[in-house]
Structure 1
Amino acid sequence: MFFGGGFPSSNVHVYRNGRMHFAHQNRQERREQQRDGGFALLVQLMPILILIIVSALSQLMVTQPPYSLSYRPSAGHVHKRHTSHLKVPFYVGGRFNEEFTGNNLKTVERSVEEDYISNLRNNCWKEKQQKEGLLYRARYFGDSELYQRAQRMGTPSCSRLSEIQVILDG
């Protein structure tokens, strides 16, 4: 019924004026509906097919980045390099030196540094949230040991981000 096939029976009960009547569908109408059913099914499935095709094409068009901030042998990023400005470590594939030179290399290094700084900002925020959460719990429960531990807790991403800000402000 959902795909335009109609009701399974040729006799349909119709209620009119409180009485039940039988609505008979003749054979010619049923044959026409069956012939049109394949096309109707295709029309109904068309949006789903279009979504599947667009999704598959978009996956084919996505390219793998030429670098990774971490060692990733599965992606081929196994050779360690450092950016020239901030000395940020990153990993590349075996053909990186052949494919990226001059302005292309500078563009990649700029992307590496932007990604690295973005990761540091996110990690710094998480570290601050964790430290503030411990301090809050220590105050709420009156736990001096937990308070001391929270005070000693470091925020290495925030420290590294401060160092980079000094270099950038130069």
Structure 2
Amino acid sequence: MGGGPGIRVHQFGGGRPRRRPREANARTEPTPSLWATFQQLLPLILLFVLPWISSKFSGPSTPAGPSYRFDAAVPPHTMHRTTPKLNVDYYVNPGDVEDYSSRKFRQLDQRVEVDYVTKLRYECEAEQHRRDRMLQDAQGWFFPDVDKIKEARAMELKSCRRLDSLKGRY
């Protein structure tokens, strides 16, 4: 019944690895030179120093152009502008754009339109998520709440509607 003729013993992780005793004639390794130590540390130095140096020479991380707002004229954003393609109203600081040429204003208008559409997409997603959440909450554990379902389905998705009205123009 079982067993076998002998017992096997395995040792995992215990004890130190055994080394051969040093011979009397054996040479000891010379201590590494400063150059050898530097060569071994060079990959680590490059790993930490190069990104730091490149960040110092990359310049400031300010946006490329003046700041603007879409909702209302709030100082210092008091200069009203409208983009030519999508008719987006926005406000800029007049001091930031006083030396702008018509070419720079066109570039600013394009950037504003791209940012506006991106903002609308994000807000539309948030509105749809909110509506879906309301529908899920209205389902309930035992029976659906019909009034809440109607309210969720009737919810106005302003950003989605505005985004749909701009389709094909951007």
Into which bin does the TM-score normalised by the smaller protein fall? 0.5 to 0.7
Q: How many residues align?
A: 144
Cα 1:84–1:43 shift into 2, 3 Å: closer
* Counterpart in the other structure of 1:133: 133
Is contact 1:90-1:112 (8 Å) kept? Answer: no
User: 5+ residue gaps in structure 1?
Assistant: 1-12
How far apart are the structure 2 equivalents of 1:78 and 1:90? 5
TM-score by length of 2: 0.65
Is contact 1:14-1:21 (8 Å) kept? Answer: no
How far apart are the structure 2 equivalents of 1:68 and 1:148? 41
* Counterpart in the other structure of 2:91: 90
User: 5+ residue gaps in structure 2?
Assistant: 1-15
Backbone CA RMSD of aligned residues: 3.4
How far apart are the structure 2 equivalents of 1:144 and 1:84? 44
Displacement of 1:108 after TM fit? 1.0
1:15 to 14, 18, 24: 18
Q: Whose relative contact order is higher, 1 or 2, with alpha carbons under 8 Å and at least 6 apart?
A: 2
More helix by share: 1
Displacement of 1:88 after TM fit? 2.2
> Which amino acid counterpart does residue 18 of structure 2 have in structure 1?
Y
| Fraction of identical pairs, as percent | 19
More strand by share: 1
Matches within 5 A, 1:1-170: 15-16=18-19, 20-22=20-22, 26=28, 29-30=30-31, 33-36=32-35, 38-40=37-39, 42-44=41-43, 45-58=45-58, 60=59, 62-70=61-69, 78-85=77-84, 86-92=87-93, 94-98=95-99, 100-141=100-141, 142-165=144-167, 168=169
How far apart are the structure 1 equivalents of 2:134 and 2:33? 69
